[in-house]
Amino acid sequence: MGESLKCDLCGKPATVHLTQIVNNQIHKLDLCEECAAAKGVTDPTGFSLADLLVNKPAAAETPASQLVCEHCGFTQADFKKLGRLGCPACYERFSPILEPVLANMHKGVTHLGKVPARSIERRTLLDRIARLERELTDAVRSERYEDAARLRDEITAMKEAMSGRPAVS
């Protein structure tokens, strides 16, 4: 005894000594003043030894489990704050947290009303054109010119069919 304790984080002489009991295990920690201040040890209520031991900031758990919409960058925290969503794609991205909310709020969880038939028809047609264009590129690359010609005609016909109804989104 009599030997002065060193800071567990930087090795300087320790002046702050902590004892915390987590899951019936006693953890002791010795820190110098600088490290103690940097880790926020001056406020014992907002400090967790467990966080210090695994060497990460106290609030790290929350952002790690947060959902983010890749399409618009909207986060779960934004939703919590605003009560609104960022874009239509958020509905899919946030479905784990939205489902219980919707079930609580509405009469059911499945839409039973009007369907925008034109939008859906147009979307289906656009998807088909995109698929045919990919097939056309493949056909040209592998020199299947008969197939390529057929695909090109098919795409032209579909585009003409669509031109009567301009799609804006």
Partner 1 sequence: MIIAPLLESRADFGETSGPRGSVVLMTRIRFARNLARHAFPGWAKDAQRREVFATSLAAVAGLKEMKKGISAEMSDLDELERQILFERHLISRELMGMKTGSGFVISRDQSCAVMINEEDHLRIQVIKAGFHFKKAWNVLNGIDTSLEETLDYAFSPTLGFLTACPTNVGTAMRASAMMHLPALVIGGQMEKVVRAVNQLGIAVRGLFGEGSDATGSIFQISNQTTLGEGEEEILKRLTAVLNSVIEQENNTRARLLETEPAKLFDKIGRAFGILRNAYVLSSSEAMNMLSLVRLGVDLKMLPVELRSTVDRLFIECQPGHVQYAARKPIETAERDSFRARLLRAEFEKVGTPDFNPRNDDNEPTATN
Q: Which residues bind partner 1 (CB under 8 A)?
A: 71-72, 74, 78, 82-89, 91-92, 98, 101-102, 105-120, 122-123, 165-169
Work out the burial of residue 51: count CB atoms within 10 Å of its CB; fewer than 13 is exposed, 13-18 middle, 19 or more buried. middle
Least distance to partner 1, CB of residue 118, Å: 5
Backbone angles phi, psi at 6, to 5 degrees: -105, 155
Residue 45 CA from chain centroid, whole number: 31
Least distance to partner 1, CB of residue 80, Å: 13
Least distance to partner 1, CB of residue 78, Å: 8
Least distance to partner 1, CB of residue 85, Å: 6
Q: How close are the terminal C-alpha atoms of the chain, in Å?
A: 76
Is the C-alpha dihedral spanning 104, 105, 107, 109 positive or negative? Answer: negative
Nearer to partner 1, 54 or 117 (CB): 117
Q: What is Dmax (Cα atoms) for the chain?
A: 92
Nearer to partner 1, 57 or 100 (CB): 100
Nearer to partner 1, 42 or 95 (CB): 95
Nearer to partner 1, 120 or 130 (CB): 120
